[in-house]
Structure formats: structure tokens, C-alpha cells
Amino acid sequence: MSDAPQNGNLIVVAGAGTGKTYTLVHECLARVLGGVSIDEMLVVTFTKAAAAELRQRIAEKLQSKFVNNPNSAHLARQIALLDRAKISTLHSFCLELVSRHFSELGLSPRLATLEAAQAAVLRNEALDELFEKYYDAKDDRTKCVRKMLIEWFRGDDRAAREIISKLHEFTQTRPNPKRWFDSQREICRAKNRRTGVNFTRMQF
């Protein structure tokens, strides 16, 4: 992270417990001490808890620096501006942006983010519709999928639903989900050629 551009964009990608919050706080503080104003930054993360923790830690670091340098007008201003700083979840930032430009986008001004419980209901409804399509198979493709569900999952589609849900959640973190699926199909085709086993026999 030390090689990151001082005033450029920075993306921190790492697993849980690896120090993402520490890194973001360090980078924000370095930019502030370098003369950048906190209200000129956009800091986004995925959860409200992480966003709140980021804001709190940045506040603590700024206060600590100010104690050691109480005559710094820049640090005093940054502490005052912290409440206005754009430190939020990615969803909150996008909602604010879309709400501000709803007319240009042709959307309703009464926008809201989908809560987890609501998303779960819609996901289950979509899965019900999807599985009903395959259980009521009318062509060779859907019959092939129905056979797989029966043979692989012994007629209990709960495991299949969980796999599909996790796969969906994962692909939504990719910049281009379709391109990711295409790359996985190509990997399967390469295995086909190398092993002679048809990994891509069933197309979903």
C-alpha cells in the first residue's frame, strides 16, 4: 500500500481480519496530512458497521494528531468537516447519487435500497419460479436439468438452491458477471479437451 498514489484512487481487496480498515484509515490520514481535505474524499465499504468504524478511527487519528499539533488550522478544519465526509457503504453512496439525479435517469424520486429480508423473499420467489420451470420440464434442456436435480440432489433441492444463491452472490461482486461465467465455461471446455470428460454437457 505504500506505493499507492498519494491523491489517486485506492481499492483495498482482502479477506476478513486482514487489516482492510487499518489500511483505509492509514491511507485517508496520509492524504489529509498531505493537504487533501477530508470532504474531498469518497470512502466506501460494504457494511454500515465497517463505515461507522472507519469514521470513528479516522476521527481518533485526527484528534491524536491535533493534540500533538494544536496550532494546525488544517487539522482543526478536518475534524470539523468529518461529519460531512463521504464515508459510507457503497449502497448508500449509490443511492444518494441516483436520488440526486433521478429525473435524468427516469426514475421515481421515492427510491430506497432493498433490505436483506426483502431481498431474501424475492430471491426465494425467483428460485421457486426457476425450479418450477425445470421440474415441469418440456424440452430436452430442462429435462436434462431435472434429471441432474434428481440424481445429484436426490429430489431435495435445498442444497441446489444454496449453491445457486452463493454463486449469485459471488458473481455480483465481479465487475462483469457474464464475462466471469464465460471464463468458467472456457475452463470447462479446456478440461473437456484435456480429459475427454464433458464438463459442459449441460448448459444452464
81 and 54 belong to one structural domain:
yes
Helix (H) or strand (E) holding 43: strand 42-45
C-alpha atoms less than 13 angstroms from C-alpha of 202 in its C-beta half-sphere: 12
Q: Give the model's pLDDT for residue 109.
A: 84
70 and 31 belong to one structural domain:
yes
Overall pTM > 0.85: no
Q: Give the model's pLDDT for residue 1.
A: 41
80 and 37 belong to one structural domain:
yes
Domain count within the chain: 2
Q: How far is CA 30 from CA 43, 77, 192, in A?
A: 14, 16, 51
Q: Give the model's pLDDT for residue 13.
A: 76
- Is residue 179 included in any domain, yes or no? no
pLDDT reading at 9 higher than 60: yes
28 and 73 belong to one structural domain:
yes
CATH number, domain containing residue 67: 3.40.50.300
pLDDT reading at 7 higher than 70: no
pLDDT reading at 204 higher than 70: no
Q: Using one digit for the tens of pLDDT, what is the confidence trace for 59-105?
A: 999 999 999 999 999 999 999 999 999 999 988 898 888 998 988 98
97 and 124 belong to one structural domain:
no
122 and 99 belong to one structural domain:
no
Range of the domain at 126: 116-173
Q: Which of 105, 135, 165 is the last residue of a domain?
A: 105
Average of per-residue pLDDT values in the chain: 85
132 and 101 belong to one structural domain:
no
Q: Using one digit for the tens of pLDDT, what is the confidence trace for 127-163?
A: 999 999 888 888 888 888 888 888 888 878 889 999 9
Confidence of residue 196 (pLDDT cuts 50, 70, 90): low
Which residues contact residue 79 at a Cβ distance below 8 angstroms, ignoring those fewer than 6 apart? 59, 62, 63, 66
Identify the weakest region by mean pLDDT among 5-9, 29-33, 116-120, 152-156. Answer: 5-9
